Every structure is written in C-alpha cells, then in structure tokens.
Amino acid sequence: MASAAETARQAERADVRSRWLLSTPALLIILVAAIGPLFVMLAYSFMVKGDYGDVKFGQFSLDGWFSVFFSRDIFDDTVGLADAHLSIFWRSVKLSLITTLLTLGLGFPTAYFIATRPASTREVWVFLITIPFWTNLLIRTFAMQEVIRNEGILNTLMMWLGLIDRPVQLMYTDVAILFGMVYVYLPLMVLPLYASMEKLDFRLVEAGYDLYATRLRVLWRIIIPLVRPGIVAGSILVFIPSLGAYVTPRVLGGGKNMMLGNLIELQFGAGRNWPLGAALSITLMAIVMLALLVYVRNAARSGAQHV
Amino acid sequence: MPEKPDRNAIEVRNVSKIFGSGDARFAALDRVSVNIRENEFFTLLGPSGCGKTTLLRLIAGFDFPSEGEIFLYGDDIAPLPPFRRPVNTVFQSYALFPHMTVAQNIGFGLEMLGKPKAEVEARVTQMLKLVRMEQLAGRRTSQISGGQQQRVALARALAPQPKVLLLDEPLSALDYKLRKDMQIELKTLQHETGITFIFVTHDQEEALTMSDRIAVMSAGKILQVGSPRDIYDRPAERFVADFIGESNFLPAAIVSTAGNLATVRLASGAEIPASLPDGFAPKGDVSIVVRPEHAQLAKPEGAALAGTVETVVYLGTDTHFHLKLDSGEPFIVRRQNARGHTDRFVAGNRVGLLIPADSAQVLKD
C-alpha cells in the first residue's frame, strides 16, 4: 500500500502534468509567433545580404553587424564610424526621453486631477482618456499634420491672435515628431499614473500639510515617492514604443528626420540590406531590454520599501 | 487681555460649516461657540455625523469655516493653511508615511520647520523614549503593530511641540484592552507635556475617563460643556442624558424654584427636590432625569414612587431591576452587589422608589 506521502507526491505530479498540458497551446503560440521570429532575425543578421533583398541562406557574414556601427568609404575603403546610424540612434533615444519627460509633465497633473475627482466621475475621465485609441494611429497622425502644418489650425490661430507674422515651420522638424509622439503616448503615461494615484491615501497628504510641509514639499516628499511605481511604469510604457516609433516620424518628420523604426524599415525596403535591418532591430531590442532592466531593479527597490 | 491662569488656547466663535448648496445644503456645524482652555484635556463627544470631526478639521485647517472665527491664543487662524498653524493632528487611521521609518515619521514635522539636523535627531530620540519605541526607530511603519503605530502617530504630532494637539478618534482602531491602556497613557502624556489636547470621540466612557471638560455635540450644535461629573450628574438636555450613561426620564411639574434648585411634583403626587440647568427657570410641566444607580429600592409605604418589579438582571458587579411604575413609566434601578443586602426583590414584587436629594435633574427639553 502506498504511503500518504507517496500518494501526495503522485497527486502533485499529476497536477503539474495537467498544468503543463493546459498551457501547451499558449506556449506553442508564444514559441512560434514571438520567440521563433526573433531567432530568424538573429540568424538573418549573420548572413550575406541578397542582391534584391532577402539573404543568401547559409552564407555566414558579419557585414550586417559591422554596418550597424561602422561604414566603409566607397572610394578608399577606409573604415569609419557609421555616423548616420549612430546619430539616428542618438536622435531616437533623445526624442524618446524628451517624449517621456513631456508626457510625464503633462500626465502627472492630469492623473492627479482624475484621482482627486469624486469616485462616480473618475471613470468618465478615464474613459475620455482612452477615446483616442478608438481611431487608427495613422489617421490620427495625419490629423495631427493638419493641426501643425504651415496653413494648419495652430499656425492660423497664432497668426489670428497676432502672436506671429508668418507661419512657423513645424512640419518635418523634431518638434513635429515630439508633438505627435506626446499626443499618441500620453494616455500610456496617464493610465498607470492614475492607477497608482487612485491607491494613494490622501490622508497622508493632509498629514503632510499638518506637519508644516508646504504644497511643493508635500508633492516632493509624499506624493511622488508614493506614486513612484506609477511614474516608472508609465515612463517605461512611453519610452519603449517611442524608441521604435515608425508612423509618427515618417508622417510628421518627413524623410530627413528618421528614427530607428524608419531606419530599420529602410533596410528591409529600399535599402535591400536585410542583415543590417535585422542587426539594427536586435540592437533596438537590446536598448529596450536595458531600459527594462533598470525598471525591474527600480521596482524591486521601491517594492521592498513598501512591504 | 490680562493673563489669567486659565486663559483660552482656542476660541471658536459662531462658526458654521455648510456643505453643498440648494437642496443638498447641509450644515455640519451650526453657529458653534466654545472656548478651550490652556493645558486642558478637552473632548468633543457625540454620535457620528454630529459635527465633531468637522470642528476638529476646521481647527486643524483642512477645511475652512463658512462663517465665524477661530482664535488660537488671540490670533485669528481661520484663514491660515494647515502648514501655517502651530497645531498638529493625530489621525484616526494614523496616516503614517509608509515610505519612511518610524524615526523619519517622527522627525518630519521638525524637518519641515527647518530645524537643524542635530536638533531634529535629539528631539526624535526624546519622543521615541516618551512613547517607549526606541527599539523600533529604524522600522517601517508597516512592520509595527496597531498600538505601536498609534504611539508613533502620537510622537509625530507631539514632536514639533504644537500649541494644541488634535486627536481624531485615535483609539477606535485598537482592541479593548489596548484602548484602556492607551487612555491612561494619553492622559499621563497630556499631563507631562502640558499641551492642550482636543480629543474627538463617540465613546462616552472614553470621554468620561480622560477629559477635563467635555462638549457634547448633536446635529451640528454643542449642547452642553462641562466636567465629566457635570455632564453625567447634571445633564441639561434629554439628548445629553440619553447619550451618556443610562437614564430614567419622568414627567414632573415645577412647584417652586430657588436659584439652581427646584421642587417638583411627580405623577404620584410626591414632591422632591431637583437641580436646574444653569440659567434655566422653567414653569409648569418639565421632564426630570434620574440615573439608575442614584435611585434606591425601598418598601412601598412612604416612598416617593411605587411600582412593580418586572425583570431582574444579574450582571456580576451589579443587578438591574426593571420596574413599571404605577403611573405606567418604566424605571431602571441599578444596585451594586455588595454584601449585606438584607432585602431581596424578585419579579412581581411591589416596591417603593426613593430618590435621594441631589439625584434628580430637570431637563431643558
């Protein structure tokens, strides 16, 4: 006769088996649709580029990775840094950071406003925040073009108000890209910020005032430390997609002001350099992973504080 | 104003607080005036919704009065924000900062006042000692028990040496035993620090145990202010008598009045002496109140009132006799179960009721 411990072990094994069985479909999809392509990309980045796109299978080459960082002069064959790529990397990181800071600056008061409304109206405000998601990103971006172009709403309004004499060139500048990205990613900042502010005990704010902290000090010493998880989550949610943004810089930034997403698209399209495109994509992923690593360590630290 | 030994720490003059407007208009406080003396343990007592917490929040500065003035040692503080008032609060939920240690919580107020670091540290050490929390200085506030959190909240509010300490039902989250201990501890602390305490509670026993004076509140008004003994022995209104302790109400008619004393005629025709509330000289029919432990059971012959025992409830320390008087009113007598009672009363007995001098009080309503 099996002992009680033996029976328990058997039951546990059966339990584990059924759990694996239940998660198999999901695991398969992740494997085939998410992880699989990553390996394809990794493999492509180490192959020789095809003459009309694609790659030459089985022909190993480091050219793709080499061109991410370096360029060979076509006349004298000397090797230099790939200034064009590096400046696009830098631009992407810079614009994404600025976007993150701007959305944080605009999103924080917005989230605070919503979180301090009566419970009955909060949901209405949150609902309003999500309305832009109902429309396709491309259409919204073209609408933004209508707002900021030389004869657009913004310039017309400023001229009518007498603020400027002639239209300010916004289209096809970094400012236009920032306009578009802040607009697109603002909800992604507001929602996690709101989620952590909603949990904030506003009696702590009163306690701060009671203990002689002015409004600004209550903000710095009490509100911000307590909603930090929301700030970190919102920043990550904005920074990552900003870094890979494609539509916004393409439509509002024109051909000159490329970001990483556009550079990658170029390699798979007109550039016909798939290994380089694959290597660039993996580099982008590495940057994102780095940002996430910082986030996880941050979250772990602030989590430890609250337990 | 000349300095008197019992000068006022807080003067509330004709303060009203209106919430909402139109049909939803609601007066949480209705022209309230009260003086709170220096170094006194003052309690605002009343059921929930009576306005006691609203009054406390007006003094703290979290809300502003719709009308009226609030003076702190003669200065009008009503328009000042809370961080400009030398007044600190112990919150009902403690509201300790979860992202700071016990010591950081206690030092926060002093730090915000811009005190030098050394002074803050010295004062924090002193406060930790005062509330016996030295060992837990480095703990997070989520890692300590409810009673300990309570003491940290107290130390945090006392550290900046406020002129007045406001306490908003600070003991309500503690269990019975701890609450009893904290009541004594708070009272001792108030004595040691010499700070004026304004304590809000709905617990009459707590109010009687701790206070120097009590203000009984109902529906946005202060009904009576007095020492615990005043409030208990000389309730001026039916609500006060009913809210604090148990009461027997009897109809009576005024026969004559002289100063604070009246002679009243009861339904049985007997005439007994009764006290009058200050400045109240009624005529005709009134109500009087008699505390259950002040009335005595006796033989029916020659007693002021007579009736029948309906139920006898034994409660260990004392026994409650539920009577039905000949006039039809119910009446409860509480008698301590001391040794040596020779007379025994059981349900169905006819008994007399003696109301000794100084145990009946005429009510204003």
pLDDT of residue A2: 58
B158 and B109 in a common domain = yes
Q: Is the domain of A35 the same as that of A70?
A: yes
Name the stretches of chain A with pLDDT < 70.
1-2, 299-307
Q: What tens digit of pLDDT does each residue of B319-356 get?
A: 999 999 988 889 999 988 877 776 778 888 888 888 88
Q: Do B62 and A203 touch (CB under 8 A)?
A: no
The answer on A274 and A246 residing in a single domain is yes
Same domain, yes or no, for A66 and A156? no
Q: Among A21, A51, A80, identify where a domain stops.
A: A80
Which domain-ending residue is among B204, B233, B262? Answer: B233
Taking contacts as CB-CB distances below 8 angstroms, the residues of chain B near A203 are: 91, 93, 95
Total domains in chain B come to: 2
Closest-CA distance, B97 to chain A, in angstroms, reads 7
Residue B241 lies in a domain: no
Give A128-175 pLDDT, tens digit per residue.
Answer: 998 988 889 899 999 998 999 888 899 999 999 988 888 888 888 889
pLDDT of B83-93, one tens digit each?
999 999 999 98
- Looking at the structure, do residues B297 and B207 belong to the same domain, yes or no? no
User: Which chain A residues touch B152 with a CB distance below 8 Å?
Assistant: none
CATH number for B193: 3.40.50.300
Tell me, yes or no, whether B226 and B256 share the same domain.
no
ipTM for the complex shown: 0.83
A119 shares its domain with A182: yes
| φ, ψ dihedrals at B3, nearest 5° | -75, 120
Q: Give the confidence band of B5 by pLDDT, cuts at 50, 70, 90.
A: low
In which domain, by residue range, is B295 found?
A: 246-362
Residues in chain A with CB shorter than 8 Å from the CB of B89 are 206-207, 210
Is B88 in Cβ contact with A305 (below 8 Å)? no
Q: Are residues A136 and A215 in the same domain?
A: yes
Last residue of a domain, one of B233, B262, B284: B233
Inter-chain touch B140–A305, beta carbons under 8 Å: yes
**In a shared domain, residues B135 and B87:** yes
> Does the distance separating the beta carbons of B98 and A210 come in below 8 Å?
no
B240 within domain boundaries: no
The DSSP code sequence of B260-324 is: TEEEEEETTS-EEEEE--TT----SEEEEEE-TTT-EEE-STT-SEEEEEEEEEE-SSEEEEEEE
Within this chain, do residues A186 and A197 fall inside the same structural domain, yes or no?
Answer: yes
B60–A210 CB contact, under 8 Å: yes
Residues B150 and B277 in one domain: no
**From the CA of A200, how many Å to the nearest CA of chain B?**
11
**Bridge partners (DSSP) listed for residue B318:** B336
Residue B59 has pLDDT above 50, yes or no: yes
Whole-angstrom CA distances from A61 to A39, A67, B188 are 16, 11, 83
B218 and B88 within one domain: yes
Inter-chain touch B83–A306, beta carbons under 8 Å: no
Verify that A127 and A30 share a domain, yes or no: no
| Domain, as residue range, for A11 | 4-80
Please tell me whether residues A72 and A88 are part of one structural domain.
no
> Is B47 among the domain residues?
yes
Whether the CB-CB separation of B140 and B172 falls below 8 Å is answered with no
pLDDT of residue B3: 44
Query: At a CB cut-off of 8 Å and minimum separation 6, what does A86 contact?
Result: A69
Within this chain, do residues B25 and B107 fall inside the same structural domain, yes or no? yes
Pair (A182, A233) in one structural domain: yes
User: Do A61 and A96 have their domain in common?
Assistant: no
Q: Are residues A163 and A236 in the same domain?
A: yes
Compute the half-sphere exposure of residue A59: CA atoms within 13 Å on the CB side of its CA: 10
- Residue A299: the pLDDT is 67
- B210 CA to chain A: closest CA distance, Å? 24
- Boundary residue ending a domain (A23, A52, A80): A80
Residues B97 and B206 in one domain: yes
The rounded distance, in Å, linking the Cα atoms of A291 and A239 is: 9
Domain count of chain A?
2
- The secondary structure element, H or E, covering residue B30 is strand B26-37
Flag if A203 and B99 touch (Cβ within 8 Å).
no
Q: Which residues of A touch B (CB under 8 A)?
A: 201, 203-204, 206-214, 217, 221-222, 225-226, 305-307
Same domain for B153 and B29? yes
Q: What is the domain-level CATH number for residue B331?
A: 2.40.50.140
Shortest CA distance from B98: residue in chain A:
A306
Mean pLDDT calculated for residue range B158-165: 94
Which candidate in B57, B80, B90, B97 is best for mutational testing of the A interface (most A CBs within 10 A)?
B97
* Contact between residue A79 and residue A72 where contact means Cβ atoms under 8 Å apart: yes
Q: Are B226 and B262 part of one and the same domain?
A: no
Within-domain flag for B289: yes
Which residues on chain B are in Cβ contact (under 8 Å) with A222? 97
Contact check, Cβ <8 Å, B98/A226: yes
The distance from CA B292 to its chain's CA centroid, rounded to whole angstroms, is: 20
Same domain, B91 and B32: yes
Give the pLDDT score at A190: 96
Say if residue A53 is in the same domain as residue A123: no
Question: What pLDDT band is residue B32 in, cutting at 50, 70 and 90?
Answer: very high
